[in-house]
Chains A and B, each alone.
Chain A
Amino acid sequence: AQSVAQPEDQVNVAEGNPLTVKCTYSVSGNPYLFWYVQYPNRGLQFLLKYITGDNLVKGSYGFEAEFNKSQTSFHLKKPSALVSDSALYFCAVSGSNQGGKLIFGQGTELSVKP
């Protein structure tokens, strides 16, 4: 069965510092991995995805994520956090044989303080 774990309910970072939001996954076959962001009173927005190829993928708003097959991880990173990055972040996975069904993690609330 597919699953996603986001071990941190909340991450607190000072503006200008690097941030990491953690995600590990379990899936049969090759994983398709995604990050989505949810701002207050807004719909979920796509940030980035890993399908195949380079393990480091770059996405919207300066975010990037690194696929690590041996650790089954797909951590979200940004070199310098902004206050406006404060939001709820969701990691999601789909298996190559799953026909498009995304399984989401529980979410991590990122708080960036000035």
Chain B
Amino acid sequence: GAGVSQTPSNKVTEKGKYVELRCDPISGHTALYWYRQSLGQGPEFLIYFQGTGAADDSGLPNDRFFAVRPEGSVSTLKIQRTERGDSAMYLCASSPQGANTGELFFGEGSRLTVL
């Protein structure tokens, strides 16, 4: 399809394990965003890429979280030593420019459950 694709849609892991979440943005979109949404809350900003570089990573909660976008397209969010508090829906969005001037196109999310 032509939309933002996120895999896996659901991930269940055990505390302490390593997790990777993948985002495939809309072709040609230079801006890519990761958000985290807990139940009953609004999306919380994690990191924003413009091309290959992280333009703003101020939302990453600690150094267990890391994201890459090596070729300016697909992005991977990596979480080390997962904790139960990391359980949430992780949302990816892309935009042809930045969010200031245009809408964000969101994927359906990856639901992470840490047991």
Question: CB within 8 Å of B: which residues of A?
Answer: 4, 32, 34, 36, 41-46, 49, 51, 90, 92, 94, 96, 98-107
Contact = CB atoms under 8 A, between A and B. Distances in A.
Contacts, number: 74
7 A-B pairs with least C-beta separation: A100-B98, A46-B103, A104-B42, A43-B106, A44-B106, A100-B99, A43-B108
Interface of B: 3-4, 31, 33, 35, 40-45, 48, 50, 55-56, 58-59, 91, 93, 95, 98-101, 103-109
A34, A43, A99, A106 — most chain B CB neighbours (10 Å): A43
A49 B103 contact: yes
Given A98-B100, A99-B100, A100-B98, A90 B108 contact: no
A62 B108 CA distance: 24
B99 A42 contact: no
B41 A106 contact: yes
A33 to B, nearest CB: 11
Contact of A99 (B41, B48, B104): B48
Contact of B100 (A42, A94, A103): A94
B91 A43 contact: yes
Given A106-B40, A107-B41, 17 more contacts: A34-B99, A34-B103, A36-B104, A43-B108, A44-B91, A46-B103, A49-B103, A51-B101, A92-B42, A94-B100, A99-B98, A100-B33, A100-B98, A102-B104, A103-B45, A106-B42, A107-B42
